[in-house]
Structure 1
Amino acid sequence: MSSALQALVMPTRQEPGCLDYQLFELTDEPGTFYMRESFTDELAMEAHRATPHFQAFAAQMDGWLAEPMRLVRLTAIN
């Protein structure tokens, strides 16, 4: 799964509307990953989810997940 997630990083960073795309692995839980993503707006995020590289990953990810993927939306306050 790590290599599949890493394969998303560079193409995603080159997408229009991508502000930040970072992959992390929890130090105390190897094999548990966190993806921090920031896009200019909802349309850019939707466009990301429609890209071939994301769709290829999404088609495989269910077999790798111990629990459903969770999307947390944040709004900057400063």
Structure 2
Amino acid sequence: MTIVVPEAEGAVGLYGFARPKPERADELERLLLSFVEPTRAEPGSLQYQVHRDTADPGTLVFYELWRSPADLRAHLARPELADFQRHRMDYLREDLEVHWLTPLSAPA
């Protein structure tokens, strides 16, 4: 799966699901959490969070909000994110599921 950022005017959001292989779950969680602070410091990052699904604790859920599609594209081009994209199936039992959002209100 190649993440194709949609064209949009203004902010763009997304949420997604990462369903790890059981033997790689802890490793994937640590990896995704390692992205949090550096991503929050990037220009254009408005929100970046990683969650655990309470109904399915083996599933990690991520939520991102970016000032613009260009900011998100720059984020995805960072070496650590590009590397994760190339090797994601080493961790996942199925590919990432990503849903795109159009923000209707400004972040708090």
Question: Normalising to structure 2: TM-score of the pair?
Answer: 0.66
Higher relative contact order, chain-length normalized (CA < 8 Å, sep 6+)? 2
Instruction: State the 1:16 CA deviation.
Output: 0.3
Write the deviation string for residues 2-43 of structure 1: whole angstroms up to 9, x where unpaired. 001001111100000000000001112122011100000100
- Pairwise mapping of residues 9-20 of structure 1 onto structure 2 (< 5 A)? 9-20=36-47
- Which segment is superposed worse, 38-47 or 48-57? 48-57
What runs of 5+ residues in structure 2 fail to find an aligned partner? Answer: 1-27
Number of aligned positions between the proteins: 78
| Aligned partner of 1:8 among 10, 35, 43 | 35
Say whether the 8 Å CA contact 1:11–1:53 is kept in structure 2. Answer: no
Task: Name the residue aligned to 2:82.
Answer: 55
Task: Name the residue aligned to 1:26.
Answer: 53
RMSD of aligned alpha carbons: 1.3
Identity of aligned residues (%): 32
Matches of 1:59 and 1:30 in 2, distance apart? 25
Which AA in structure 1 matches 2:82? Answer: Q
Matches of 2:76 and 2:34 in 1, distance apart? 14
What runs of 5+ residues in structure 1 fail to find an aligned partner? Answer: none
Is 1:39 matched up with 2:63? Answer: no
Larger Cα-atom Rg: 2
**1 or 2, which has the higher strand percentage?**
2
Is 1:70 matched up with 2:73? Answer: no
Instruction: State the 1:52 CA deviation.
Output: 1.9
SS in 1 for 2:100: coil
Instruction: State the 1:62 CA deviation.
Output: 1.1
